[in-house]
Structure 1
Amino acid sequence: MNLKHLLSRQITKNLSKLKGVSFNCQRNLSTISVPVLPSTSPKSHDFTLSQNPKTAKPGLSFRRYIFSNQETERIASSISPKTDSEEEEDRDMNEFLSRFVWIMRGKMSDAYPDSDKKTIDGMLLMIVGKVVSEMEKGGLERMIESASASPSQDFSEDLWRTVWEVSNLVLEDMEKARKKEKMKGFLQSDKVKEMSRFAGEIGIRGDMLRELRFKWAREEMEESEFYEGLERLRKEANAQEMGEKAEGKAAAECAEVEEKPKVITLPKRHGKIKYKIYGLDLSDPKWAEVAEKIHERGEMILPEEPKPITGKCKLITDKILSLEKEEDPSPLLAEWKELLQPSRIDWINLLDRLREQNTQLYFKVAELVLSEESFQTNVRDYSKLIDAHAKENCLEDAERILKKMNENGIVPDIVTSTVLVHMYSKAGNLDRAKEAFESLRSHGFQPDKKVYNSMIMAYVNAGQPKLGMSLVDMMITSGIERSEEIYLALLRSFAQCGDVRGAGQITNIMRIEEFQPTLESCTLLVEAYGQAGDPDQARSNFDYMIRLGHKPDDRCTASMIAAYGKKNLLDKALNLLLELEKDGFEPGPATYTVLVDWLGRLQLINEAEQLLGKISELGEAPPFKIQVSLCDMYARAGIEKKALQALGFLEAKKEQMGPDDFERIINGLLAGGFLQDAQRVHGLMEAQGFAASERLKVALISSQTFNRQRQPTR
């Protein structure tokens, strides 16, 4: 059914029910003296709004809107009860006329500023009457055609053009309102609510969560419209199939349907169509404020689309996208900005394209865009750019963005602080990570699992597992789930420090939380007791691991041998190796490395070199740590060539050496009389940021005092 017939039927029903009914607005307007509008508009009050009026006919949009479900009752009527279909049609008709009058009132007031309210109301009454009359004749299509034809006897061409443009605007707004109402329904759907709850649990809040909710709702709406379209196609196909089966009957029915509108006659109208919106006067200035707020909310639900990029602007865009990372994009951006006059959505569209094609160029352009006023930069934009730099391990760039953020007076929010915790924890900057973590808590935000894990790993990497353990206590108190990986990281850190108490505490918590002992956790306990110099407890845990069914590997066995080496219990270490070999165990590089180190300390050079050959037979390069043992062994034995050979290897990889490694090498060189080499290595140690112990300082001073130096032969 086309718009003409639908409107005709609506007006017919309305008029038949309105006979003898008196509306309030009719009584009010009956006393108004209605002036006759001139056939041509005064020059000082030109209604022409555009030199190129739109060609799209609003009737098509209005037809779609007629069939939409509007939940707001806009018409307060005193007529007899209607069916749902009739009420819906009346509601749509009255909404169109209400919006039309509200907009036309403003335009009439602007065009005739000297006219009073009664005169304006009279003009509006005549205009609405003419619009309704045209609807009765042939619908809005007929009225639109009249706008482009010669002026009628009643109104000027400019006035008709204004009526036509206002009609277009009203229908567009009604269509947007329909989409907005539909979007509201999807925003409250179970799926979107579930995804929003999940996003909130993982720390996504504020503007970002709102954007995601709208995105998910739009996707749901698009999917629903897609399936509705498929359903319509299915029904059309079924109808066509049925038509083919009964072709003769269908043809007769179609002919009757096509001819039926032609014989429809409209009853003579007994007055104007009257309407009232809850008894409110829409000319009140407060409704303008309400309309602006509704428009703003509509933009939030239905964001604006980026401007089309054509012509020269497209060429400039292509040049920007093809820039190399070392080139300066500022001149092209300035030209692009001047041509397009971009809004925020246009900038975002450009940045998204850059991110897909050239990450490095995206970073440069995004940093420049932050200072653009039309971009409407907010704290989230800074956070996203800082996070992007952090993921690329560009710490200096991220800190530069953070500095610029502070200089512009933008205070980091919860999202920014979360990003900084992850970034500084990954970079090993404990102080800055703690600062960001405390900033989170000062905002009243409860850190989530990921933030806690990042902060714990920062403490672990800094060799402070006790502080990391305090965060575990906070997680337990807050009911946040702990992972086995974070417990193993803490256990590993306690083991390296030889803190058996902390290692035992972690083990007990894992047992309470029903984490089963693994080969890794048992190995770390053995290592912890070995570092603490308690080989008996280390062996007890070693045997317990075997009873659990775990077969000791090379690393676990090396940890047990190292525990015996702390107390120089060589016989027990050899007996353990013999027992394990009976069960099929074969020593690997880790076990041989511990034995070479032990024999080197005992100055059993031949035996150590034999074990060194065993490592070569395995087809693997000797571990880095073994070079420290060899350098110390050969230096103490006075074997200058081999000592300096091992020392040269260590100097080439000094970044991998720790303070204990430096001290052992320097003490070995001093014991062998290599004073100059010892002093050189001491300089390397300080350059790496390690301070020598008091004992080492005394040894260096005493070596110089007693002149026990020896010139090395290169």
Structure 2
Amino acid sequence: MSLRHLVSRKTINNLSSTNGKSPSMYPYIYRNFTTITAPISSRFHFPNSDGSFKPLQNPNCLKPISSFSTHIHSADGTKLSHLGGYPKLNSEEFEEEEEEEEEDGTMNEFLSRFVWIMRGKLYEVYTDCDKETIEAMLLVVVGKVVSEMEKGGLEQMLGAAVAAPSQDFSEDLWRTVWEVSNMVLDDMRKEKMKEKMKGFLQSEEVKEMCRFAGEVGIRGDMLRELRFKWAREKMEESEFYESLECMREEARAQDEGEKSEGKQAETMGDEAVMAEEKPKVVSLPKRRGKIRYKIYGLDLSDPKWAEVADKIHERGELIWPEEPKPISGKCKLVTESILSLNKEEDPSPVLAEWVELLQPGRIDWITLLDRLKEQNNSVYFKVAELVLCEESFQTNIRDYSKLIDAHAKENHLEDAERILKKMNENGIVPDILTATVLVHMYSKAGNIERAKEAFESLRSQGFQPDMKVYNSMIMAYVNAGQPKLGESLMREMEARDMKPTQEIYMALLRSFAQRGDVGGAGRIANTMQFAGFQPSLESCTLLVEAYGQSGDPDLARSNFDYMIKVGHRPDDRCTASMIAAYERKNLLDKALNLLLQLEKDGFQPGVATYTVLVDWLGKLQLVNEAEQLLDKIVELGEAPPFKVHISLCDMYSRAGVEKKSLQALGALEAKTEQLGPDDFERIINGLLAGGFMEDAKRIHGLMEARGFAASEPLKVALMASQAFSRRRPTMR
């Protein structure tokens, strides 16, 4: 805290003329030091006029300087008063004075802070001395520090591991001067960092990020932490580029040095070695000649200044984040033990030991959790959950939501729900940010009901969902097979002037197409075109699939031809979808004509097209033709798809080919988890048609074990097969 910010009036003492020697009033001070009574603590010894050291004696000494804070005599005897006793200056002299004050700003700051702290040290030790005596001592100390700075000895003093006693001060006093000087320089460094940080806190980029965070519901401590984090990142980025610039300047200087004469290069190399060997300490800028400095407000004994200092300190804590406690000794070993824990180990005992040793605050907990997240992510979740119950952590709602979000990103749904339950048990109601995390988590997990609850919770709190929340909820409806509900949310987005992404449009279109919902697929396709998305091969294929599923091969063919017209070449999947549309109406001639036409244009059928044709020919009991197409799939170098085995089992069972039917059925039984209810019914009907009753009953048992109920026609067929007792050889 700079003293010049606390005092409006200036009290100036120019000691620049001392040059390490006593000014005209120094002998008067020295003489009276020997008559002051020894204080309670004899830690400090001040010099006599002859340079010898003796404790201060005689409390009845004369006051060395009266009204010290009001009148200070300069070396030439000029008297300056805080009531306007400054000498008058013309404009040129005033400008020169302003420039000099600006140049010596850092030095003034150092000396002002030094005076403030050193006065407190003197008052603590010399409790029996009056104010005038203490400030006279302070004047001597400051004079000595200034003389050392003028001679260049202060940097050497600050760089030493242990302060060496000077010829004027005792060892204890000089050590105190050394400690206070380093303390002041460290405070100045922190103050400089704070000022730099304030600039980045007010930068437009950080403000814009904070405004966005406020719009999505981030408030209070969480927003402040994020603001400091973003500002710190910007500051580190700026410092990084500044360091690159310095490195470039150094490299340029080095290149110029290499081109210079050998002797000069050798001299520069010696200086660089000396600079490397010199200990790196925080130091003041080097000065030449006398140092002109100002000490403001030596009289700060009024209690109001203490109140001002407390308020400034409180404000500083709000503006500048608290730093974690230094960790050393046994506490450091325990910290390393926490970081190296295994996933199966219980962190509670070692965590309790760490708390007992460090007595941590919130910033210490956050630092430990950040290190755990980087080095040991599995243990991080255990420790983070335990920390929620620690009183010193000062748990808030953001800590719960952050941990829930971390579990959700790792797909730990049960752990996330456990943290949510703890949150509710502690009386903390999920806010907007927590509800947003829950929407994303349950949508990703496919729990549509819980996702809807979290989404409605957002709306009930007055929050307008953003693009990410809408996308997550729409995808949850799509994955749950409810594309119409997803479409309603998409219309809500459009009403709020929020443009859905192409991925959302395609997901809805795909869902409608798979269900044969021609109306829904058409609406999505038209909306995409109005939104500026041109028809793609994928969207056209999905429309062909939709019309094929609905049993309208003519409209499917119309969309197929439109796709070719707009410049898309049909691929294997699109062609297979068109052939499947013809299959549903058993229009084999149109399907063959389409294939011949495409082959003339250079199209080569693939696995998808051959799979549809094998299935179609198998239903027609064209066994030889289906086997020829099966050989073409093998020639392509790919194994027959799983769907082909269903077609072959049905075909061979109806044709009574026992051996091949056995092979196809074995392949299906090995992967029953991939069979759907329609697949089971087709296999069982085929076995019943071929007379394989026992095998049909076994497959029916597997169907029920999967939780699928047989349709009424299938139940009638099974009952009829038992009633008529049609006996056929089994395949087992």
Q: TM-score range by the shorter chain?
A: 0.7 to 0.9
Give the alignment of 1:294-309 within 5 angstroms.
294-300=315-321, 304=323, 307-309=326-328
Q: Give the superposition deviation at 1:569.
A: 1.6
Q: Give the superposition deviation at 1:462.
A: 1.5
Counterpart in the other structure of 1:54: none
Counterpart in the other structure of 2:30: none
Cα–Cα, structure 1 residues 176 and 557, in superposed 2: closer, same or farther, change >3 Å?
Answer: same
Structure 2: distance between partners of 1:518 and 1:384? 40
What amino acid maps onto 2:628 in structure 1? Answer: Q
Counterpart in the other structure of 1:186: 200
Counterpart in the other structure of 2:665: 647
Q: Give the superposition deviation at 1:504.
A: 0.8
Q: Deviations over 1:79-105 (max 9, x none)?
A: 566643344478767766776677688
Cα–Cα, structure 1 residues 120 and 483, in superposed 2: closer, same or farther, change >3 Å?
Answer: farther
Cα–Cα, structure 1 residues 87 and 684, in superposed 2: closer, same or farther, change >3 Å?
Answer: farther
Q: Give the superposition deviation at 1:508.
A: 0.9
**SS in structure 1 at match of 2:229:** helix
What amino acid maps onto 1:452 in structure 2? Answer: Y
Structure 2: distance between partners of 1:642 and 1:239? 86
**SS in structure 2 at match of 1:507:** helix
What amino acid maps onto 2:202 in structure 1? Answer: Q
Q: TM-score, normalised by structure 1?
A: 0.72
Q: Give the superposition deviation at 1:221.
A: 4.6
Q: Give the superposition deviation at 1:378.
A: 4.4
Structure 2: distance between partners of 1:677 and 1:37? 119
Unaligned runs of 5+ in 2: 1-11, 19-32, 46-81, 89-93, 265-285
Cα–Cα, structure 1 residues 133 and 211, in superposed 2: closer, same or farther, change >3 Å?
Answer: closer
Q: Deviations over 1:113-137 (max 9, x none)?
A: 9x9xxx9866765565455554565
Counterpart in the other structure of 1:448: 466
Cα–Cα, structure 1 residues 127 and 556, in superposed 2: closer, same or farther, change >3 Å?
Answer: same
Structure 1: distance between partners of 2:363 and 2:144? 41
Moved more, 157-166 or 427-436: 157-166
Give the alignment of 1:160-179 within 5 angstroms.
169-179=183-193
Q: Give the superposition deviation at 1:579.
A: 1.8
Structure number with the higher helix fraction is: 1
Q: Give the superposition deviation at 1:290.
A: 0.8
Structure 2: distance between partners of 1:266 and 1:203? 54
Counterpart in the other structure of 2:590: 572
Cα–Cα, structure 1 residues 206 and 349, in superposed 2: closer, same or farther, change >3 Å?
Answer: closer
Give the alignment of 1:611-626 within 5 angstroms.
611-626=629-644
Counterpart in the other structure of 1:526: 544
Structure 2: distance between partners of 1:403 and 1:582? 65
Structure 2: distance between partners of 1:259 and 1:543? 86
Counterpart in the other structure of 2:493: 475
**SS in structure 2 at match of 1:587:** coil
Structure 1: distance between partners of 2:288 and 2:418? 75
Structure 2: distance between partners of 1:709 and 1:124? 120
Moved more, 592-601 or 353-362: 353-362
**SS in structure 2 at match of 1:468:** helix
Counterpart in the other structure of 1:600: 618
Q: Give the superposition deviation at 1:466.
A: 1.3
Counterpart in the other structure of 2:314: 293
Matched, 1:206 2:219: no
Structure 2: distance between partners of 1:298 and 1:40? 45
Structure 2: distance between partners of 1:331 and 1:76? 66
Q: 2:618, 2:648 within 8 Å by CA — same for their partners in 1? A: yes
Matched, 1:12 2:29: no
Q: TM-score, normalised by structure 2?
A: 0.71
Q: How many residues align?
A: 635
Structure 2: distance between partners of 1:594 and 1:104? 93
Q: Deviations over 1:29-65 (max 9, x none)?
A: xxxxxx999644437x9999xxxxxxxxxxxxxxxxx
Identical counterparts, % of pairs: 63
Structure 2: distance between partners of 1:335 and 1:274? 49
What amino acid maps onto 2:483 in structure 1? Answer: P
Matched, 1:84 2:82: no
Cα–Cα, structure 1 residues 699 and 99, in superposed 2: closer, same or farther, change >3 Å?
Answer: farther
Structure 1: distance between partners of 2:517 and 2:598? 28
Give the alignment of 1:130-529 within 5 angstroms.
130-135=140-145, 138=148, 169-190=183-204, 192=206, 206-207=223-224, 209-223=226-240, 226=243, 261=289, 275=297, 283=304, 286-300=307-321, 304=323, 307-309=326-328, 315-317=333-335, 319-344=337-362, 346-529=364-547
- Please report the RMSD computed on the Cα atoms of aligned residues, expressed in angstroms: 5.0
Structure 2: distance between partners of 1:371 and 1:177? 35
Structure 2: distance between partners of 1:440 and 1:15? 73
Q: 1:151, 1:157 within 8 Å by CA — same for their partners in 2? A: no
What amino acid maps onto 1:84 in structure 2? Answer: E
Moved more, 291-300 or 324-333: 324-333
Q: Give the superposition deviation at 1:523.
A: 0.8
Matched, 1:663 2:681: yes
Q: Give the superposition deviation at 1:78.
A: 8.2
Q: Give the superposition deviation at 1:530.
A: 0.4
Structure 1: distance between partners of 2:693 and 2:287? 116
What amino acid maps onto 2:201 in structure 1? Answer: L
**SS in structure 1 at match of 2:604:** coil
Cα–Cα, structure 1 residues 484 and 137, in superposed 2: closer, same or farther, change >3 Å?
Answer: closer
Q: 2:553, 2:578 within 8 Å by CA — same for their partners in 1? A: yes
Counterpart in the other structure of 2:22: none
Moved more, 285-294 or 523-532: 285-294
Structure 1: distance between partners of 2:718 and 2:44? 99
Q: Give the superposition deviation at 1:495.
A: 0.6
Counterpart in the other structure of 2:608: 590
Q: Deviations over 1:244-296 (max 9, x none)?
A: 99x9xxxxxxxxxx9984xx6999xxxx966399x995535642541332331
Structure 2: distance between partners of 1:240 and 1:196? 48
Moved more, 584-593 or 409-418: 409-418
Counterpart in the other structure of 2:554: 536
What amino acid maps onto 2:323 in structure 1? Answer: E
Unaligned runs of 5+ in 1: 1-9, 17-34, 49-74, 248-257
Q: 1:187, 1:217 within 8 Å by CA — same for their partners in 2? A: no
Q: Give the superposition deviation at 1:233.
A: 6.1
Counterpart in the other structure of 1:63: none
Q: 1:596, 1:626 within 8 Å by CA — same for their partners in 2? A: yes
Q: 1:494, 1:502 within 8 Å by CA — same for their partners in 2? A: yes
Q: Give the superposition deviation at 1:628.
A: 2.2
**SS in structure 2 at match of 1:283:** helix
Structure 1: distance between partners of 2:105 and 2:602? 88
Cα–Cα, structure 1 residues 150 and 572, in superposed 2: closer, same or farther, change >3 Å?
Answer: closer
Q: Give the superposition deviation at 1:344.
A: 4.9
Moved more, 406-415 or 567-576: 406-415
Cα–Cα, structure 1 residues 507 and 356, in superposed 2: closer, same or farther, change >3 Å?
Answer: same
Counterpart in the other structure of 1:52: none
Q: Give the superposition deviation at 1:709.
A: 7.9
Cα–Cα, structure 1 residues 709 and 111, in superposed 2: closer, same or farther, change >3 Å?
Answer: farther
Q: 2:432, 2:463 within 8 Å by CA — same for their partners in 1? A: yes
Cα–Cα, structure 1 residues 333 and 13, in superposed 2: closer, same or farther, change >3 Å?
Answer: closer
Q: 2:197, 2:232 within 8 Å by CA — same for their partners in 1? A: no
Q: Give the superposition deviation at 1:624.
A: 1.1
Q: Give the superposition deviation at 1:219.
A: 0.8
Counterpart in the other structure of 2:76: none
**SS in structure 1 at match of 2:320:** helix
